[in-house]
Structure 1
Amino acid sequence: MAAVQAVVSALDVFSRAPDKAALERANTWLQDFQHSPDAWSTCNVLLLSSDAPPAAKLFAAQTFRTKVIYDLHEMREPDLLQLRDTLLTALGRYQTGPRTIIVQLCLAISGLALQLPAWQDPVKDMIESFGRNPATVPSLLQFLTVLPEELISNTKIPITDDEYRDRSAKLLTANAPQVLDLLSMYIQASGVTLALQAQVFNCLSSWLAAGEITAEALARTPLLAYAFEALASDDLFESAVSVVCDLIHETQEIEDNMQVIEQIVPRVIALRPRLVEYKDDPEKIRGLARVFTEAGETYRSLLLHHPDTFFPIVEAIGECSAYPDLDIVPITFHFWMRLAQSIGKRQSVSPLFMDAYKALMNVIIVHLHFPTDVTSLTGQEAENFRSFRHVMGDTLKDCCYVLGAEACLMSTYELIRAALSQGPAASWQDIEAPLFALRSMGAEIDPSDDKAVPKIMDLIPSLPVHPRVRYAALLIISRYTEWISKHPDYIPYQLQYISAGFEDSDSEVNAAAGQALKYLCQDCRRHLVDFLPQLHTFLGSMGSKLVQDDKIQVYEAIAHVISAMPMEQAAQSLRTFSLDILAQVHALAMKPTVATQDELQAVTNGLENLEVMLGVVQTFGDELPAACQNSPQEAWSFFDPFIARYGSNYQICERTTRVLRLGLTFFGSAVRPLLPAVLKRMAAAFESTGFSSYLWIAGKIIGRFGNDEDLMLRAAFAEVLERSSSKLVVLLQDKSPSTIPDVVEDYLQMLLQMIEYTPDILFPSSAFPVAFRAAMLALNLVQADIVFAALDFVRMIVTHDCLSPSSTHPPPKFPIYSAAIRPVVEKEGPELVGYLLSGLVGDFPEESTSLVVTIFRVLSALWPAQLLTWLPVVLQQLPVTSAPEQAKRQFMTDVSSAIQMTQYDKVKYAVIALHRASRKARERRRVNPMDG
């Protein structure tokens, strides 16, 4: 009774308004209770006690279900049969509900039936026990409904594939005829209630979806007719829709099911008038849309081969597509897409389908209309509508696929002309919706088209000056730039329209103009070379008026044009635009007074624009053009004093280092003479700020130039390592690694470059122990990239050839490396093993296990005695919630055996077994005890 009371008390916490800590304590206690062997008997008492609170009874049922999945191994076989009787008794006790308890008990019985071969025929026994008394039939139907679902979907039940195949065949396949007969009897039994009929349909759906009851077998029963008749009932409608859809789906093998299809299709077509009858009931329309589209998709080949018979289904789906509720319309989209694909593979198709897609295109354009009062949409509604318009745009592409892009474009173009012909009476929505459609269909156009697209392009300048209309027109330009590239005569007009877009007061129009300019310059760059001075002038006059996001688009556009120029001309043009920005950097660096926040922001924006340009141009190759010969030194002469003065501003740090990174790519080997100075500045900047980006640049330089033998450069590598390691030690005195993950990550990435390219600097350095310890501490972080970097670094150290030279004449520095590595590993070993195992049974990414395996295998081979002394203490500290005691003992045994037998590869299996046991334990604990 004490255990019963403890459960009741823990559950009582959830009924109040507890603080988070109390909630977590109660949740953890209940999880631990569910894991305990005592839970079986305690939950039995709770479930059958008339005094237990409802929450405790539900929890008891949920616990039985959980323990049936995970803990049946705790019971002997005679006890399992007793457990079965307990669950059946409880199910009989709760025949009147609550339904939540009935469901949990039925799930538990299903899981037990799958794992208990001694229970010869569970379905037959359940029918005999619960199927004769009208009061218990609902419980039987609930069991029969969840049985196929549980057997098919619950992958956590611990049985082999062979056991599953054998047992599910006996439980499901062998009993399908009996279940079908039973459901046929119940559906028409005298006195049957609507609730029971709904349960019959739900059960039938479950067995159909599982593939255990065939359409052919069902068609020989009254259930097929009853399912369609039930669509007229408010109470049975939803369950009948599911049955009908599952039945249609099960007839997808057309030739094998023609007799059944001949019964289904007339009944489906007869439902079409209901679309008018139920026009004011969206839920009914939703259900009918599901039925019609399921029939359309399943019988797609029949639609195309026998349109005279089957086309009414297409017409019904078209009516569903035209329904004004935009939550229902998408149900039909997959059908239209698949049908379009099928039509595209045929040489000829009935005109009926062409008409259907023409009607569909007009329907979609109507749906694209913004409401008359746009302010009637809330923020989320507006966002949802915008997102849905793009989905509808995909369906317009299906229309193009069937009808041809030219026909669709011309039809849509005529809609715009018709709206414009109304003059001031035209609403902007009537113009914008077809414009959006033209944008969506842009991906389907032929870049050589000389009929429809010229008309559209000629129409754009005459569109009304409304922000939504201008926005849509600019995005058409963005989408049609490949066509414009083949028709360059349109470029001046498009540039003029885009330029006007930048002057619009609407920020979304400005953004669309930026996007249009970017894509125009990207796809038409060779035609725009002569326009570059005009773009430079535009930046000079309009630049200060543009918000930064739009300015970025302009600079990206310009960079695309530069990339199309001959190299010398491109270099000179890039220099012109870059110097505009670098002049701002130089001016601030030299300014007698401290820069204002606005001035710093302006330079930050300028550096971002330069970054965008360099990102597009990337490099001219190893041989720099004449205009760039002195540029590395010139640029660094601007950056060095600027970083020295303002590098403690985080935004300045981020932007300068990103530009420097692209500068390394752009200038290539030409930067080599500058690198010692750059590294010195990066080391000093990291020392004074702790900003990780300075380490990031250092790592990039080492990765690019680490093989260089220049003594000054290698001395700079060593200086960066020592100064950054000293700074990291200082940072970790006040902060935990989890608060500075960016610093830890970039430090590790730098170390990975050093161990790869400069081991002669890394290993003998006094900073090496700091580096190793930093990698260990990083193993405690949750960011996957950092964990992988740390594991990689540790792996590269312990597997270094210097520790087990393969030849009798190792490289001369190997003894130095080995002498540096061994004492560090031996000192940090216990903590390293602790971090590795804690991560393995904790938060390490799934793909990291192979790295852990490698490290453990090497530790067991090179430090066997030490590892065997480290492990017991570490294993004892692992929480049993993620590493069960049995799994820990087995791991210790397996590793010890592998070391004693010098079969170090067997360590792999020990690590994998511990990981699997941990994953299983953690997955179980992820299930909330209150959810079952």
Structure 2
Amino acid sequence: MMASIQDVLSALDVFSRAPDKPALETANTWLQDFQHSSEAWATCNVLLLSPDAPPAAKLFAAQTFRSKVTYDLNQVDSSNLLGLRDTLVTALERYYQGPKTIMVQLCLAISGLALQLPIWQNPVQDMIDTFGRNPATVPALLQFLTLLPEELNSNTKIPVTDEEYKERANVLLTANAQKVVELLSMYIQAPGVTFPVQSQVFHCLSSWLAAGEITADSLAQTPLINFAFDALASDELFDSAVSTICDIIHETQEIDENMHVIEIVVPRVIALRPKLTEFKDDPEKIRGLARIFAEAGETYRSLLLHHTENFFPIVEAIGECSAYPDLDIVPITFHFWMRLAQSIGKKLSVSSLFLDAYKALMAVVIRHLHFPADLTSLSGQEADNFRQFRHVMGDTLKDCCYVLGADVCLLATYEMITTALAQPNASWQDIEAPLFSMRSMGAEVDANDDKAVPKIMDLIPRLPSHPRVRYAALLIISRYTEWINKHPAYIPYQLQYVSAGFEDSDEEVNAAAGQALKYLCQDCKQHLVDFLPQLHSFVGTMGSKLSQDDKIQVYEAIAYVITAMPMEKAGQSMRTFALDLLAEVHALLVKPTPATEQDLKKVAAALENLEVMLGVIETFGEQLPTSCQNTCEEAWSVFDPFLAQYGSEFHICERATRVIRQGIVFFGKACLPVLPSVLNRMGSAFETSGLSSYLWIVGKIIGRFGNEENPTLRAAFKDAYERCSNKVLQVLQEKSPGQIPDVIEDYIQMVLQMISFAPDILFPSPAFPVAFRAALAALTLVQADVVFAALDMIHNVLYHDCLTASSTPPPPKFPIYAAAIKPVVEQEGMALTGYLLAGLTGDFPEESTSIVIAIFRRLATLYPTQLMIWLPVVLQQLPATSTPDQAKASFLSDMGRAISIKEEEKVKYAIISLHRASRKARERRRVGPMDN
């Protein structure tokens, strides 16, 4: 025992000395292993009760008791369980004055034990008898009573059945609810009671309310409700009283059942309204009051609507909270306004009081939207938070539109702007804030509106040229493009205004102009066809001045217009823009001097713009326009030498392969003549560079054209597959899988396409063992997408029809496939089994369990003898920290039984049991020995 205590103290001492990471991990692991041991019970009892033990050791001992009550109660002989209870209660008596961290852990341990110990007939009464009679120990009792329902309702790791839990929770909680209410009522007003104890009473009450054990009705006969409201006058009790009042209000949400309680609560809530004026300089007090008003408003929403005059003061109080200048407090009210708006929307008639409330709310929100007079007064994070908050407030403006009507709201904001424009000293903020609100409300606007929106569109030319104002105006154009589509007379001016936005020196204005142009062209494309030459000219003259992000928006916009053209004209237009962009690539090829970084960046941007256009247009269908008939060969004649020269540059590779991907979609079967050359270039480029995008595009080509019977194309598939496989093998010999997850994922995705479309190439090839080993390597990675791809590939190989062909005779190539697959699986079977179990009990995503089960079912069917040889070796290699020895033995026994009786369903249950045991062990270790 003394040696064990000294070992614990030594391990804990490591944490106090700011050690290096290995020492910390070693100490952490040792302490976790110690916590699992049977001797920890006695050792921690000594540490907890020893006056000389350091504080860290006492806390560790208390935490260990809580952990072992949760996980290891089976280590205690049933005859000693009541003794364990007495040990924990004695320890709590020792620490009734704190430290609180130790008291909390002991209360949690006692709660967990009470749940699992039916022979302890009435734990709550026993704890009241032990701690409730002495005022000095009452805080310990209140701590226990507060944590008891929380532990019972949240600690799902305690091993009890649903039936046992239901029965025991009734004994511990439901049967004692009234007793707890009476006890709390007594303590809250006991002579000499202190603020800390009263605060504990509130916390305890909230805990039992949250658990649903104490009802609002049971509180109505006690002083607790009124005392909670009275406690708001106390600085010491204010926060806990607020939380308790909110919990009480929430508990009365069943209106009809709790009307007599509501009649007590609501007058007290309404009486708080003057406090908003009294505490106007105390944001924390206002925050608490806002919580109470908002909770009352949401809970009593139906009463607000049906008895408006009596309950409307609550709405007025919430409106005052919404108007408070502290923007951390204002959002507390937003959910109320949203839910109320939804309820009002379902009524045939609405009280004018609500209409006035939402009008006032709209004005308040727009006032909150104002940027500060000095933008530099906001730090970077504060500025980001404010911008984010503006969008949240924008949702509340939509609620105003829902109640008042979008035209009413828009006309009100229009009046705000015209009033500001008429004042010579108006700030830009006075214009920008209502403009921003117009943008937020745009989603609610009727595209046929002829009252408000025409006025707004006519207003835009009169706005000042301040960058923030112009930015807001451009985003209004973005949001109102569906309306503009039905009112095309506005398009020429809108285009002019947007074009001017690209010339602004402010980058955000440029970005807004790009967004506006994109949505204009997307929603008004039919009306913009005649403007395409103007857009082409704009790209030619302004292109060099635009940022790449802005260019992307412009080319996307142009592509939308092209989709609205007749096919031949669309083809000619697309060819024009594509050749302009490919000219950038050609210019680099013929450049007499070596390419600079800037040259490559410029070409990568051109390729990105081409990709964007192709992505919007997608395809003209099976029949290409005449102007595009030879474009595929022309484009490849530029791409091929370009990739030969610059394909090892990462950004060039990324952009070029993405364009090729879009080109495959655009040209369809028209690109078949160049595909062998494309595949050859992709294979050689991957051999040279090792960049995964070349594997990705090979997989896309096989997925799109894998059913083609063209011998030249299928020979190109085989050549690309084998060259890529050899390169992957080489890279895996030089680097760990963790260094090349992208290569492994794209290679496996390529192989998956081959399983589906080219098994005649995949399986007989000498590259197939490489592909299988690459999938095994992928199982060691932490990236979920790669793991799933590898599991899919292994599953598809093992479940290929060739391994279970029932027809006689089987398809001619099936025996060839089976002859290729079986020796690979037999050779790699032990490694496969090891990786699957290591992942299942380690880092595999939770959703992977079903496919792991399917793979093991197949192995058990196809390789039963080998599997039972592989498993003992593999299980021995799994760390006991993730897979306890008992779980390993049970799994091996369950698998042996399942295989011997050829019962696949029992394989599933064996895997699930192992996974559960492992997850339980890992979850326990995830909570460090020094965590609360």
Q: TM class by shorter-chain length?
A: over 0.9
Deviations 1:93-144 (A, max 9, x none): 0011111111111111111111111110000100111100111111001101
Partner of 2:857: 857
Alpha-carbon shift at residue 612 of structure 1 (Å): 0.4
Does 1:795 pair with 2:795? yes
Question: Residue type matched to 1:397 in 2?
Answer: K
Alpha-carbon shift at residue 213 of structure 1 (Å): 1.0
Does 1:740 pair with 2:747? no
Percent identity over the alignment? 74
Partner of 1:153: 154
Partner of 2:136: 135
- Inter-partner Cα distance in structure 1 for 2:179 and 2:597: 80
Alignment of 1:52-451 (within 5 A): 52-423=53-424, 425-451=425-451
- Inter-partner Cα distance in structure 1 for 2:490 and 2:196: 68
Question: Residue type matched to 1:885 in 2?
Answer: D
* TM-score, scaled relative to structure 1: 0.99
- Inter-partner Cα distance in structure 2 for 1:443 and 1:82: 67
Alpha-carbon shift at residue 298 of structure 1 (Å): 0.7
785-794 or 570-579, which deviates more: 785-794
Does 1:50 pair with 2:16? no
Alpha-carbon shift at residue 358 of structure 1 (Å): 0.7
Alpha-carbon shift at residue 198 of structure 1 (Å): 0.9
Q: Which runs of 5+ in 2 are unaligned?
A: none
Alpha-carbon shift at residue 706 of structure 1 (Å): 1.2
- Inter-partner Cα distance in structure 2 for 1:193 and 1:796: 69
Alpha-carbon shift at residue 593 of structure 1 (Å): 2.9
Partner of 1:756: 756
Alignment of 1:843-854 (within 5 A): 843-854=843-854
- Inter-partner Cα distance in structure 2 for 1:808 and 1:909: 34
Alignment of 1:33-48 (within 5 A): 33-48=34-49
Aligned residues, how many?
Answer: 931
Alpha-carbon shift at residue 803 of structure 1 (Å): 2.1
Question: Residue type matched to 2:906 in 1?
Answer: K
Question: Residue type matched to 2:53 in 1?
Answer: A
Deviations 1:225-263 (A, max 9, x none): 111100100011111111111111111111111111111
- Inter-partner Cα distance in structure 1 for 2:905 and 2:94: 56
- Inter-partner Cα distance in structure 1 for 2:850 and 2:265: 55
- Inter-partner Cα distance in structure 1 for 2:354 and 2:764: 77
Alpha-carbon shift at residue 619 of structure 1 (Å): 0.3
Alpha-carbon shift at residue 756 of structure 1 (Å): 1.2
- Inter-partner Cα distance in structure 2 for 1:99 and 1:523: 63
- Inter-partner Cα distance in structure 2 for 1:64 and 1:520: 66
- Inter-partner Cα distance in structure 2 for 1:106 and 1:819: 64
Partner of 2:836: 836
- Inter-partner Cα distance in structure 2 for 1:8 and 1:226: 47
807-816 or 730-739, which deviates more: 807-816
- Inter-partner Cα distance in structure 1 for 2:858 and 2:263: 69
Deviations 1:290-327 (A, max 9, x none): 11111111111111111221111111111111111100
- Inter-partner Cα distance in structure 1 for 2:24 and 2:477: 56
Partner of 1:655: 655
- Inter-partner Cα distance in structure 2 for 1:302 and 1:807: 72
Does 1:688 pair with 2:688? yes
Residue 273 of structure 1 aligns to a residue whose secondary structure is helix
- Inter-partner Cα distance in structure 1 for 2:521 and 2:589: 34
Question: Residue type matched to 1:206 in 2?
Answer: S
Alpha-carbon shift at residue 717 of structure 1 (Å): 0.9
Question: Residue type matched to 1:23 in 2?
Answer: L
Partner of 1:530: 530
857-866 or 362-371, which deviates more: 857-866
- Inter-partner Cα distance in structure 2 for 1:439 and 1:760: 58
Partner of 2:873: 873
Deviations 1:795-841 (A, max 9, x none): 12222222232123111222221221121111111111111111111
Does 1:30 pair with 2:50? no
- Inter-partner Cα distance in structure 2 for 1:649 and 1:226: 73
Question: Residue type matched to 2:328 in 1?
Answer: D
Deviations 1:148-168 (A, max 9, x none): 111112222111111111111
- Inter-partner Cα distance in structure 2 for 1:361 and 1:372: 21
Alpha-carbon shift at residue 855 of structure 1 (Å): 1.5
Deviations 1:827-860 (A, max 9, x none): 1111111111111111111111121112111212
Partner of 1:608: 608
- Inter-partner Cα distance in structure 1 for 2:507 and 2:639: 33
Deviations 1:650-688 (A, max 9, x none): 111000000000000000011111111111111010011
Question: Residue type matched to 2:83 in 1?
Answer: Q
- Inter-partner Cα distance in structure 1 for 2:301 and 2:801: 64
- Inter-partner Cα distance in structure 2 for 1:584 and 1:791: 43
Question: Residue type matched to 1:682 in 2?
Answer: M
Residue 273 of structure 2 aligns to a residue whose secondary structure is coil
Does 1:768 pair with 2:768? yes
- Inter-partner Cα distance in structure 2 for 1:795 and 1:304: 59
- Inter-partner Cα distance in structure 1 for 2:398 and 2:76: 61
- Inter-partner Cα distance in structure 2 for 1:905 and 1:192: 63
Partner of 1:459: 459
* TM-score, scaled relative to structure 2: 0.99
- Inter-partner Cα distance in structure 1 for 2:856 and 2:353: 69
Deviations 1:744-797 (A, max 9, x none): 011101111111111111111111111111111111111111111111111122
Deviations 1:436-468 (A, max 9, x none): 111101111111111111111111111111111
Deviations 1:604-638 (A, max 9, x none): 10000000000000000111111111111111111
Residue 203 of structure 2 aligns to a residue whose secondary structure is helix
Alignment of 1:711-722 (within 5 A): 711-722=711-722
Alpha-carbon shift at residue 711 of structure 1 (Å): 1.1
- Inter-partner Cα distance in structure 2 for 1:11 and 1:352: 65
Partner of 2:815: 815
Deviations 1:518-543 (A, max 9, x none): 01111101010011000000001100
Alpha-carbon shift at residue 734 of structure 1 (Å): 1.2
Residue 18 of structure 1 aligns to a residue whose secondary structure is coil
Residue 176 of structure 2 aligns to a residue whose secondary structure is helix
Does 1:882 pair with 2:882? yes
Residue 620 of structure 1 aligns to a residue whose secondary structure is coil
Deviations 1:885-904 (A, max 9, x none): 11100111111112222223
- Inter-partner Cα distance in structure 2 for 1:427 and 1:320: 26
Question: Residue type matched to 2:387 in 1?
Answer: R
Residue 253 of structure 1 aligns to a residue whose secondary structure is coil
Question: Residue type matched to 1:378 in 2?
Answer: S
Partner of 1:498: 498
Partner of 1:921: 921
Q: Which runs of 5+ in 1 are unaligned?
A: none
Deviations 1:474-521 (A, max 9, x none): 111101111111111111111111111100000000000000000111
Deviations 1:704-740 (A, max 9, x none): 1112111111111111111111111111121111101
- Inter-partner Cα distance in structure 2 for 1:300 and 1:901: 63
Question: Residue type matched to 1:623 in 2?
Answer: Q
Alpha-carbon shift at residue 590 of structure 1 (Å): 2.9
Question: Residue type matched to 1:669 in 2?
Answer: K
230-239 or 68-77, which deviates more: 68-77
- Inter-partner Cα distance in structure 1 for 2:787 and 2:532: 47
Deviations 1:524-565 (A, max 9, x none): 010100110000000011000000000000000000111111
